[in-house]
Amino acid sequence: MRFRTRLFLAILAASFLSAQPAPKRTPEQMDASWQAHKSDFDYLLGDWEFTSESKEWGKGRGRWSAVKLNDGQILDEYRVLGDKDETYYVTTTIRNFNRFYDRWELIGADPGSGLKDFGTAVRNGDELRIEQTFGASSDKPRKARIRYYNIRPDSFSWTADISLDGGKTWIAKQLTIEAKRIGPARSMEALTATREK
């Protein structure tokens, strides 16, 4: 499936999954919200190498790349690699700020798994906090509470608490990641040609 089609489907799925009535907010409040939060994930832009530690899979490593799309959405690819740089796991995420709800919304897209891994994110001081479901289409979905912290220009830390029973119990720090920058922040031009007014 071509990149443009996948991107369109991810955005469409996110809009359906968050189709609950929005709280009443004025246009001025929504614009102020967008202005305050449109750069929340800019630290993630660029290319990263990471090491990880999982209570389930042990030590790991990989690459993570993120790009800002022309109108502010963030597209990223997270790839776990083996000793010979073979791919063990890969997922793509589209992140888009929802000014109606004053939060970021995310859709993860594992190959062959559809577009149901929905999540929300908010800034909490110097940290980003995400609540997301992984493997939503499988018989063993996992809820995750993710925390990005120690965010610096060339590094960040990441940890996830995981629930296997719909949020009744949690495995603390089931996965932790330390990421180091290997490439500069970047953005992508519009995919369609436009004319300036």
pLDDT per residue over 105-163, tens digit each? 999 998 888 888 999 999 999 999 999 999 998 899 999 999 999 999 999 999 999 99
pLDDT the model gives residue 33: 92
Would you place residue 197 in the very low, low, confident or very high pLDDT band (cuts 50, 70, 90)? low
Higher-confidence residue: 8 or 161?
A: 161
pLDDT the model gives residue 23: 73
**pTM of the entire structure?**
0.84
pLDDT in tens, 10-56: 444 444 444 566 678 899 999 999 999 999 999 999 999 999 999 99
Give the bridge partners for 171, in sequence order. 162
**DSSP track, 4-63:** HHHHHHHHHHHHHHT-SPPPP--HHHHHHHHHHHTTTTGGG-EEEEEEEEETTTEEEEEE
- Proportion of the chain in helix, strand, coil states, percent, rounded to 5: 15, 50, 35
pLDDT the model gives residue 176: 98
For the chain, the domains span 3-18+46-183
pLDDT the model gives residue 13: 47
Instruction: Report the alpha-carbon distance of residue 99 to residue 88 in Å, rounded.
Output: 36
- Token pair of 53 as six digits: 């530690």
pLDDT the model gives residue 51: 98
Closest listed residue to residue 118, CA positions, set 101, 52, 127: 101
pLDDT in tens, 169-193: 999 999 999 999 999 999 998 888 7
Would you place residue 86 in the very low, low, confident or very high pLDDT band (cuts 50, 70, 90)? very high
Is the confidence at residue 2, as pLDDT, over 90? no
Residue 122 φ/ψ region, left for φ over 0, alpha for ψ in the -120 to 50 degree band, beta for the rest = beta
CATH superfamily of 3-18+46-183: Calycin beta-barrel core domain (2.40.128.20)
Higher-confidence residue: 3 or 167?
A: 167
Instruction: Report the alpha-carbon distance of residue 152 to residue 10 in Å, rounded.
Output: 29
pLDDT the model gives residue 8: 46
Is the confidence at residue 6, as pLDDT, over 70? no
